[in-house]
Structure 1
Amino acid sequence: MYGVIFEFLRDYVIERHGGKETWQVLLKDNGHSAYKQFFPVAEYPDEEIVGLAQSAAEALQLPLPVVLEDFGAFTANRLLDFYHMYSDPGWKSFEVIENASGSIHDAIHKHNPNRKPPCILARRDSDSLLVIHYQSQRQLCDVAKGIVRGLGERFDEPLSLRETQCMHDGAEKCIIEVSRGTDS
Structure 2
Amino acid sequence: MKGVIFNILEQAVIEHLGTGVWDDLLDATGLEGAYTSLGSYPDSEIMALVGAAASAQGKTPAEILRWFGTAAIPVLAAKYPVFFVGQSDARNFLLSVNGIIHPEVRKLYSGAGCPHFRFSEQSGELIIRYNSPRKLCALAHGFIDGSAAYYREAVTVDHRSCMHDGADECALAVQWVS
Q: Deviations over 1:1-51 (max 9, x none)?
A: 12121122112222333x212211211222234xx3221222211111111
User: Corresponding residue for 1:146?
Assistant: 142
Alignment partner of 2:104 out of 90, 102, 107:
107
Q: Conserved in 1, the CA contact under 8 Å of 2:87 and 2:93?
A: no
Q: Conserved in 2, the CA contact under 8 Å of 1:87 and 1:103?
A: no
What are the residue-to-residue correspondences of 1:1-184 with 2, within 5 Å? 1-17=1-17, 19-33=18-32, 36-125=33-122, 128-182=124-178
Give ranges in structure 2 of 5+ residues lacking alignment: none
Task: Provide the secondary structure at the position in 2 that maps to 1:32.
Answer: coil
Q: Conserved in 2, the CA contact under 8 Å of 1:158 and 1:180?
A: yes
Q: Conserved in 2, the CA contact under 8 Å of 1:133 and 1:176?
A: yes
Amino acid at match of 1:106: P
Give ranges in structure 1 of 5+ residues lacking alignment: none
Q: Deviations over 1:93-124 (max 9, x none)?
A: 01111110111102222344532110112223
* CA displacement at 1:181 relative to structure 2: 2.9
Structure-2 change in CA distance of 1:125 and 1:82 (3 Å): farther
Structure 1 vs Structure 2 CA RMSD = 1.8
User: What is the CA–CA distance in structure 2 between the aligned matches of 1:8 and 1:38, rounded to whole Å?
Assistant: 10
Q: Conserved in 2, the CA contact under 8 Å of 1:120 and 1:132?
A: yes
* CA displacement at 1:144 relative to structure 2: 0.6
User: What is the CA–CA distance in structure 1 between the aligned matches of 2:55 and 2:91, rounded to whole Å?
Assistant: 33
User: What is the CA–CA distance in structure 1 between the aligned matches of 2:41 and 2:77, rounded to whole Å?
Assistant: 21
Q: Conserved in 1, the CA contact under 8 Å of 2:2 and 2:109?
A: no
User: What is the CA–CA distance in structure 2 between the aligned matches of 1:14 and 1:107, rounded to whole Å?
Assistant: 27
User: What is the CA–CA distance in structure 2 between the aligned matches of 1:86 and 1:121, rounded to whole Å?
Assistant: 19
TM-score, structure 2 normalization: 0.91
Amino acid at match of 1:82: K
